């Protein structure tokens, strides 16, 4: 049972436009969420995180939005750049109930078109 | 600045053979993890360790063993390799629990393992 779902395997966006990557979760105990970025032949690298006490967190061009009632989070990249082309994984954990382990989604491959 | 180093990067095994994957980190992290990544499955946690001498099971531990004899090293062993263990294996480390926003997990570049 996939508790963290990324329903779009791929996404193509023009350079300079906004990229929106989506993630849904089913476990209501999850209260901490992260996004990782992965280039081919490299390990994932941490991008941004958000805890359930917030509904938005920004870091430069990257913003993560959390909608707890819908069990949905999204990553916005503005403006999109060619170097953003990668696979993006969302991940979730439930530290409030002692579950610090990360559960990852299946990833979305983002391609930025010059 | 090495970070997390995985050895080897590639390996081909025959069914029934054994091998050990090595993960080394130079960041003095307490927590270490082993994941596998399969097509359409994301990253799944195999085993993890919250400190030297400790290990715990993750989501998919069957067929694997681990050891954390030194703080900087986390070994993943396959005692009798099976084709279902063909995967890309990632090691990660972190200073503390995953919910510490300024202490995320740092990943190695992966080991691509094929079992024939």
In this complex, do B99 and A32 lie within 8 Å of one another by their Cβ atoms? yes
**Mean of pLDDT values over B39-51:** 91
CATH code assigned at A23: 2.60.40.10
Cross-chain Cβ contact B109/A41 below 8 Å: yes
The number of domains in chain A is: 1
* Contact (CB<8Å) B90/A44: yes
pLDDT at A95: 73
User: Residue ranges per domain, chain B?
Assistant: 4-115
CB A68 within 8 A of CB A1: no
Q: What is the pLDDT of residue A14?
A: 98
Tell whether the model's pLDDT for residue B32 goes beyond 60: yes
State how far residue B113 is from chain A, nearest Cα, in angstroms.
13
pLDDT of residue B99: 64
- Give the span between the Cα atoms of A63 and A76, in whole angstroms: 5
Q: For residues A74 and B6, what is the distance between their CA atoms, to the nearest angstrom?
A: 31
Q: pLDDT class for B1, splitting at 50, 70, 90?
A: low
Is B59 in the A-facing interface, judged by CB distances under 8 Å? yes
What was the pLDDT predicted at A2? 79
* A95–B98 CB contact, under 8 Å: yes
Phi, psi of A97, rounded to the nearest 5 degrees:
-105, 20
From CA B116, how far away is CA B114, in angstroms rounded? Answer: 6
- What Rg value do the Cα atoms of chain B yield, rounded? 13
pLDDT of the residue at B61: 96
Q: How confident is the model at residue A100 (pLDDT cuts 50, 70, 90)?
A: confident
3-state secondary structure of A55: coil
Contact assignment for A44 to B97 by CB distance below 8 Å: no
- Residue B2's pLDDT is 73
Q: Given this model, what pLDDT does residue B9 score?
A: 96
Provide the residue range defining the domain that includes A88.
4-113
User: Does the pLDDT value for residue A83 go beyond 80?
Assistant: yes
Q: Which of A43, A44, A100 sits opposite B98 (nearest CB)?
A: A100
Mean pLDDT throughout B35-53?
92
| % of chain B surpassing 70 pLDDT | 94
d(CA B82, CA B16): 6
Q: What is the pLDDT of residues B55-70, one digit of tens each?
A: 999 999 999 999 999 9
Task: Count CB atoms within 10 A of the CB of residue A1.
Answer: 4
User: Looking at the domain that runs over B4-115, which CATH code has it been given?
Assistant: 2.60.40.10
- The answer on pLDDT for B102 being more than 70 is no
CB-based contact, B115 to chain A, within 8 Å: no
pLDDT at residue A75 in the model? 98
Which pLDDT value is given to residue A101? 84
In this predicted structure, the answer to whether residue B73 has a pLDDT above a threshold of 70 is yes
| Chain A partners within 8 Å of B42 (Cβ) | 2, 4, 6, 89, 104-107
Q: Is the dihedral of CA B2, A103, B45, B100 positive or negative?
A: positive
Among B48-57, B76-85, B91-100, B103-112, the minimum mean pLDDT is found in B91-100
Question: Mutate which of A102, A103, A108 to disrupt the B interface (most B C-beta within 10 Å)?
Answer: A102
Helix (H, G, I), strand (E, B) or coil at A78: coil
Nearest CA in chain B to A46: B104
In the stretch 5-34 of chain B, residues with CB closer than 8 A to chain A read none
The answer, yes or no, to whether residue B44 has pLDDT greater than 60, is yes
Residue of chain A nearest B106, judged by CA positions:
A45
Q: Would you call B104 and A4 a contact, using CB atoms and an 8 Å cutoff?
A: no
Average confidence (pLDDT) over A86-100: 84
Sheet holding B19-25, edge to edge: B4-7, B19-25, B73-78, B65-67
- What is the per-residue pLDDT across A4-61, written as a single tens digit (0 to 9) for each? 999 999 999 999 999 999 999 999 989 899 999 999 999 999 999 999 999 999 999 9
């Amino acid at each position: 049972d996939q508790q963290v779902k990324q329903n779009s395997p791929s996404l193509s966006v023009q350079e300079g436009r906004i990229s929106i990557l989506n993630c849904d979760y089913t476990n209501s105990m999850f209260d901490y969420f992260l996004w990782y970025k992965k280039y081919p032949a490299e390990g994932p690298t941490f991008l941004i995180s958000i805890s359930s006490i917030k509904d938005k967190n920004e870091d430069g061009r990257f913003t993560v939005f959390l909608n707890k009632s819908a069990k949905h989070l999204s990553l916005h990249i503005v403006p999109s750049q060619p170097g953003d082309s990668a696979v993006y994984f969302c991940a979730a954990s439930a530290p409030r109930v002692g579950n610090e382990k990360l559960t990852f989604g299946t990833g979305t491959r983002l391609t930025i078109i010059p | 600045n090495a970070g997390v180093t995985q050895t080897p990067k590639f390996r081909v095994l025959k069914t029934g053979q054994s091998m050990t994957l090595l993960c080394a980190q130079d960041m003095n992290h307490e927590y270490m993890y082993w994941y596998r990544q399969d097509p359409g499955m994301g990253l799944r946690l195999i085993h993890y360790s919250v400190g030297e001498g400790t290990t715990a099971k993750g989501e998919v531990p069957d067929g694997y063993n681990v050891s954390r004899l030194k703080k900087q090293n986390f070994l993943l062993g396959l005692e009798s390799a099976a084709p279902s263990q063909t995967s890309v294996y990632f090691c990660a480390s972190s200073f503390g629990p995953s919910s510490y926003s300024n202490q995320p997990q740092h990943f190695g570049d992966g080991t691509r393992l094929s079992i024939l």
